[in-house]
Structure formats: C-alpha cells, structure tokens
Amino acid sequence: MAAKIARYHTLPASWWVSEKIYELEKRAIFSKSWILTMHSSRFTKTGDYFRIDIAGFPIILIHGKDGTIQAFHNVCRHRAYPIVNKEFGNSLVLGCKYHGWSYDTKGSLIKAPGFETVPNFDKSVNGLFKVATHTTRQGLIFVNFDSTPNITPFHEFYKGLEDEMDEFDFGEFEYVESWQQDGEFNWKTLLDGYNECYHCPTAHPSFSKVIQVPTYQVEPRHNYARHSAEVVVPDSNAKSTMVESKPAGSSWSSWLGFPSSASIDQSSIKIDELGGDKPGLWLSLFPLNGMNCYSYAWYYMRLVPKSAGRTVLEYDIFARKGEDPVKVREFIRFLKEVEIEDYDLCTLTQKNLKNGVYGTGQLHPDKENGVLYYQNLTNEFVMSHLELEKAAGEQILPAFAGLEAMNEEGKGTDKICKQLECGIHGSDILSW
C-alpha cells in the first residue's frame, strides 16, 4: 500500500526538481493515466492529423477512413525516425522521410522499399505503435500510453467523468485558436496553483471580482476534481467594482456566463437563467489537464512536461457558434491575463523550490484540499509503481511498446540496461 504524504503538508521540494523523480513520474503516472489530448471538432476531414507531444511521448492523432480518431507513437517501425514532422496536415498515407516506409491511417505498414526481396519480412507486424484512445461522447479524445494488459479502462480511471461532462453542450462550440507558453517550472508547480483559489485575492485581482472567492470549492472525484464558485451577479445595486474595472466596451463578467453588463438591464438578470448557481463546468483532470467551460466559450489546458524544470502549457480555445467576436476576444484576453498571472507565480516559485532551502509547506485543509488531493495521487502512483519496480528488480516502462517485437536475445540485452538504470550492478541511479 502506498504511503500517504504527511497530513496537510506538501510533498518535499525535491519532487519538483529531481530529474530522477521526473523519470519515475513518467513511468508511474504519465505512462499509466488517461490524458486529454484534443477535441474531435479539430478534425474535419478523413486524413486530418495533428502531431503533439505528451510528457516526452510524441504522438500522431489521425482521423481515419472509418471516422474514428486513432493515436500512434510518432516513431517509424524501421529505425525510429519521426513519421510526421509537420504540426498538422492532411494525408491518407504517412510516409517516413528516412528510408521511405509508409503507413495508412490505421497505422498499417503499406510500403517498405526494397523489402520485397527480404525473406520472411512480415509487413503485418511492422505497423505503427498504437496508443490506446478513448473518445468521450462529448468528443474529447483521451490517450493512455500503457501498452500492457494492465491498462486501466477509461471509466475506471475517471469514474463518473463522462457523465458529469454531459452538463455542457460541446457541440454548440467551434474552435477559435490555440495558445502556448513555455514554462521554466515543474508540471506540479502549475497544478499546485491550478487546484486552489486561495491565491486568487492576492494574485488574480480581476478574477476575484467576478467570483465570490470565499465560496470557491474543489470537490475531489475519481482522479479528477470539480471546481466551483458562486459568481458575482451584476445587478443594479452591485455593479460598482466590476463594471468600473473593465476596459471600455467589455465586461469581465460576460465570459462567466453573463451578458455584457453594458448592453442589458442588469436588474433583470436572475441566477437561474444563467445555468444555476455555478458559472460552468470547471474540471481539473489528474495528471495533466484542466478544462474550463463557460456559457460563451470553453478551453482545455494540456500540460506538456519536458523535464523536471520545464513544462509547456498548451491551450485550445472554443467559442459558441455565432458568438459576437468582440466577446470572444474579451474571453481570450481574460483567459490569458489570468494564465499569465499563474505563469509568473510558477516561474518564481520554481526558482525557490530548487535553491535547497525550502522543504515542505503547510497546506490549508479546506482552501487547499485540491492541492492535497492531487499531491496524494502523485505520491500514490509513484510509490505503488516503485514497489513494482523493486519487486521486479528493474525499471518497468508501461509505455514500452517495442517488447513484443524483440527476440529473446534483444530482451536479454535490454534487461542489462534496465537493471543498470535501477541501481543494480553498482549504479545508484534510482537509489532505492
């Protein structure tokens, strides 16, 4: 049984800076979890593909002839060159630019120049490595890199998530734009802030004017958490700070679901007309995603860890079809403002996490329960995987798809390497 972290304390700072912990997280968490990639509306035609990176695993998502979206490792089965180098495109044939092997949209090898004369060469066992996918009925495409029979089914991993997402009508929205930030911080540094609003009054002054910060709640579910808060209702008596602080022609509150305060009779707004007492569907999905859905727009965040100290943040933003472009611009500007505030917090926090002074910190049991929840998940995933590795006496790489194709000699040679990485034969790399 995995050890829980000390009650109401953060994990130690070393977990935010150690490359060995990061590599372990890659095996224990990123290789075993369901991770949100994109929304299916970004694919419009057969052959549409995107190249994305998830925690060091470059993958291709492609819209096949059968209408489904499949995921493959972006690794040629010949000598491992990337199959796709463009960020996105459209093609029914994926051709490798090294020696010319090519694959169809199902990942099957269709051409291997010159191999017609090679005895016993079997095209059928040289297709692209498939990555498990689950596309929810709302069109959200998740992947899981676990290539073993132990892969956790989607609905077991995120129990209740797909049903909960039915609250929001994703079909009413269309893609607007993507946005990316390259951060010099650990993936958990960002998630620490993402999972609480204790920092909102000090760090997000504008955001704190449109929600009732004391009502902000994080409700842990099953490897995800639902965030909610009461919103500030613009009425004739309480329009002061919010309206005064907004730039001319827009309203901070509009992207939370309210019509622009400048264009309506504010005294007529009733909260039940706005979708209940919650401003939308705000979800934090362990380990690497966030989703925020409002009346006029929604977006997801894809964290792309690159190393212990570097994480790329990627956002895809969608707006209600036919929405006023001014309102959409306002939403995007607001989103970026809040995200940049978080980004700056993370950059400076990470510097201190790695300076060798700070160890752990006290968390507020209520206001930071979301932080505690996801740090506990991190700890549990890592510790239980480490137990398996200790028992096996070698590293366990659930994403390692190449094992099946290896002959016995290759497996033996590979084992030597894994044991060296684990500290057997005198190395202290993992220092169990």
Which of Fe ion, ligand FES, none does 432 bind, CB closer than 5 to 8 A by kind? none
Would you tell me which residues interact with ligand FES (CB under 6 A)? 76, 78-79, 81, 96, 98-101
Nearer to Fe ion, 130 or 199 (CB): 199
- Smallest separation (angstroms) from ligand FES to the CB of 79: 4
Given the complex with ligand FES, which of 108 and 355 has the nearer CB atom? 108
389 binds Fe ion (CB under 5 A): no
> Segment near Fe ion (CB under 5 A), from 95-103, 110-118, 128-136, 186-194?
186-194
Give the number of other CB atoms < 10 A from CB of residue 338: 16
For the CB of residue 140, give the shortest distance to Fe ion in the complex, in Å.
Answer: 23
Which one, 73 or 278, has the nearer CB to ligand FES? 73
Nearer to ligand FES, 101 or 381 (CB): 101
Binding test (CB under 5 A) with Fe ion, winner from 64, 107, 183, 193: 193
Picked from Fe ion, ligand FES, none, the partner binding residue 193 (CB below 5 to 8 A depending on kind) is Fe ion
Question: For residues 62 and 48, is the Cβ–Cβ distance under 8 A?
Answer: yes
CB of 78 to ligand FES, least distance (A): 3
Comparing CB distances to ligand FES, the nearer of 91 and 152 is: 91
State which residue, 46 or 217, has the beta carbon closest to Fe ion: 217
Task: Tell which positions 297-356 bind Fe ion, by CB under 5 A.
Answer: 342
Residue 79: name its binding partner from Fe ion, ligand FES, none (Cβ under 5 to 8 Å by kind): ligand FES
Which residue's Cβ lies closest to Fe ion? 342
Least Cβ distance, residue 217 to Fe ion (angstroms): 15
**How near is the Cβ of 105 to ligand FES at its closest, in Å?**
17
| Chosen from ligand FES, Fe ion, none, partner binding at 401 (C-beta under 5 to 8 Å by type) | none
Residue with tokens 């996105």: 88
For Fe ion, which is the closer residue by CB, 314 or 342? 342
CA 66-74-57 angle, 5° bins: 115
Would you say 218 and 195 are in contact if contact means Cβ atoms under 8 Å apart?
Answer: yes
Q: Which residues bind Fe ion (CB under 5 A)?
A: 193, 342
